[in-house]
Chain A
Amino acid sequence: MRYIVIIIGAVLVNNFVLSRFLGCCPFLGVSKKTETAVGMSGAVVFVMTIAAAVTWLLDRYLLQPFGLGYIHTLVFILVIAALVQFIDIAMKRFLPPLHAALGIFLPLITTNCAVLGVAELNLKNGTPFLESVLFAFAAALGFGFALVIFSGIREKLAHANPPRCFRGVALALVTAGLLSLAFMGFSGLVKTPY
């Protein structure tokens, strides 16, 4: 039950993009086509889950023993960046089909605030290991969910004929705002610290 609450909380109630406003850059950047949005979502799920696991272990077994909690942001960025590079190389060697699908999105998401945000939130809330990883996975799923919905709307909007001053990014931002408002409807669905 606890795990279900975490998933619903991270995907719908406290959606990373639409209510925490983390990861807005890829949200606006790669949402023009549903196809690329799905690829990006896959990469985000992959990176965020692994990053959450590694940063949790790093914090518990390296930073805390040395009393270095105050530089965790620096260390996290360093490790996540290196880790994604490593995964990129390893995936190219061992899982070429997966690399072909996610490859170009992996470097894009490396130092994204959503990735760092999930590590920070886990740290702040003092979540146990398994829940941290699950939370990261669900948060990334929520990100992908929002991204795919948004890209679907933008694909439809490409055929619309809005006033000139609204074309392009302006319309995308207004759409994102409305989507965020729509997700506000989920608030209060579950009580969750995350």
Chain B
Amino acid sequence: MVAIWIAIGVVAAVGAVAALALGVADRYLAVQEDPRIGLVTAALPGANCGGCGFPGCDGYARALVAGTAANGACAAGGEACAAAVAKILGVEATATERRVAVVHCCGTRSNAIRVGDYNGIADCSAAAAVAGGDKGCRFGCLGYGACANVCPKHAIMVSDGLAKVDKRLCIGCGKCVNVCPRKIIELVPAKATLHVLCNNPLRGPEVRKVCKVGCMGCHLCEKNSGGKEAGHFTFDGFLAKVNYDNFPTDAALVGKCPAKCIVEDAHFESGH
């Protein structure tokens, strides 16, 4: 009987000492964290997408409170989020323009030829590493969905060998931009409605050999949008690019593109 009481006593004593030690530690070793860190973290979207360049929303919140990060770097939260953070920190909000990703390619399987039969790992980087991929165009979307796999919001869908971004789901974190081996994804202002869906800077005949809808650099889009002075388009070799600092809004440009690679609202809208 005594043995039981000794056992109970020892265990209770060990427990009590441990509890006391933890209590004391919690009291005297507690780290005084700025309470604003918690508030800012709560104001951020909590998607932990890393689009701001910090490890997760918590990391960004710490940097914001420490004053080492600029408010408004959160593309996912947008202006409302920046305003909420500004209110907590007591500083002016800088307006953030919502940006979304766009895939600069419209070479579906029927439009762009395939020069090989690729049966390897279903990943764009792997496919690109094997003799430059199976697509005839060396600049186009490979369609193995590296961007779709990395997207934290599942906003990218690959159909008919082409990745497309859902404008409403995209939070503009830029992960797809970095992962694409062809570098054909770009973050553009969500307000821009017209896009040149091609990334091939080669001459017209060479583009035509591999794709029915590739940009040939004819400059018609530039002429039809008010000429060079209007500055709605820039050119890289024989490739037209929308100048997103001064993007065109005239929907008639779509029909006037002989290559049919200028598209109004390139973003598909998924059912969800």
Q: Do A and B come from one complex?
A: yes
* Residues in chain A within 8 A of chain B (CB atoms): 58, 62-63, 66-68, 71, 74-75, 78-79, 82-83, 85-86, 89-90, 92-94, 96, 159-161
Q: Across the interface, which residues of B come within 8 angstroms of A66, CB to CB?
A: 6-7, 10
Q: Across the interface, which residues of A come within 8 angstroms of B22, CB to CB?
A: 82, 85-86, 89
Are A71 and B21 closer than 8 Å at their CB atoms? no
Q: Across the interface, which residues of B come within 8 angstroms of A71, CB to CB?
A: 7, 10-11
Are B6 and A92 closer than 8 Å at their CB atoms? no
Interface digits, B17-39 against A, CB 8 Å rule (1 contact, 0 not)? 01101100110011100000000
* Residues in chain B within 8 A of chain A (CB atoms): 3, 6-7, 10-11, 14-15, 18-19, 21-22, 25-26, 29-31, 121-123, 126
Give 18 pairs: A residue, B residue, CB < 8 Å, sorted on A. Answer: A62-B14, A63-B10, A66-B6, A66-B7, A66-B10, A67-B6, A68-B7, A75-B14, A79-B14, A82-B18, A82-B21, A86-B21, A90-B25, A92-B29, A93-B29, A93-B31, A160-B121, A161-B122
A62 and B14 CA atoms in complex are apart in Å by 10
Known: A79-B18, A94-B29. 5 other contacts (CB 8 A): A63-B10, A67-B3, A71-B10, A75-B11, A92-B31
Shortest Cβ gap from B129 to chain A (Å): 13
Are B25 and A86 closer than 8 Å at their CB atoms? yes
A30 and B220 CA atoms in complex are apart in Å by 56
For A91, the closest partner residue in chain B by CB is B29
For A87, the closest partner residue in chain B by CB is B25
Name the prevailing secondary structure of the A interface residues: helix
Shortest Cβ gap from A97 to chain B (Å): 13
A159 and B126 CA atoms in complex are apart in Å by 10
Are B11 and A89 closer than 8 Å at their CB atoms? no
A63 and B22 CA atoms in complex are apart in Å by 22
9 nearest A-B pairs in the assembled complex, by CB-CB distance: A82-B18, A93-B29, A89-B25, A159-B121, A89-B29, A92-B31, A93-B31, A86-B25, A71-B7
For B29, the closest partner residue in chain A by CB is A93
Q: Across the interface, which residues of A come within 8 angstroms of B25, CB to CB?
A: 86, 89-90
For A94, the closest partner residue in chain B by CB is B29
A90 and B30 CA atoms in complex are apart in Å by 8
Contact (A159, B123) CB under 8 Å given A86-B21, A86-B25: yes
Q: Across the interface, which residues of A come within 8 angstroms of B21, CB to CB?
A: 82, 86
A85 and B22 CA atoms in complex are apart in Å by 7
Are B121 and A89 closer than 8 Å at their CB atoms? no
Are B18 and A78 closer than 8 Å at their CB atoms? yes
Q: Across the interface, which residues of B come within 8 angstroms of A67, CB to CB?
A: 3, 6
A92 and B121 CA atoms in complex are apart in Å by 43
Q: Across the interface, which residues of A come within 8 angstroms of B31, CB to CB?
A: 92-93, 96
Shortest Cβ gap from B26 to chain A (Å): 6
A71 and B26 CA atoms in complex are apart in Å by 28
Are B18 and A75 closer than 8 Å at their CB atoms? no
Shortest Cβ gap from B263 to chain A (Å): 32
Q: Across the interface, which residues of B come within 8 angstroms of A82, CB to CB?
A: 18-19, 21-22
For B123, the closest partner residue in chain A by CB is A159
Contact (A89, B26) CB under 8 Å given A67-B3, A79-B18, A159-B123: yes
Shortest Cβ gap from B21 to chain A (Å): 6
Q: Across the interface, which residues of B come within 8 angstroms of A86, CB to CB?
A: 21-22, 25
Are A78 and B122 closer than 8 Å at their CB atoms? no
Q: Across the interface, which residues of A come within 8 angstroms of B122, CB to CB?
A: 161
Partner of B15, one of A78, A85, A90, A161: A78
A89 and B126 CA atoms in complex are apart in Å by 45
Of A58, A75, A161, the most chain B CB neighbours within 10 A belong to A75
Q: Across the interface, which residues of B come within 8 angstroms of A58, CB to CB?
A: 14
Q: Across the interface, which residues of A come within 8 angstroms of B3, CB to CB?
A: 67
Shortest Cβ gap from B112 to chain A (Å): 25
Shortest Cβ gap from B4 to chain A (Å): 10
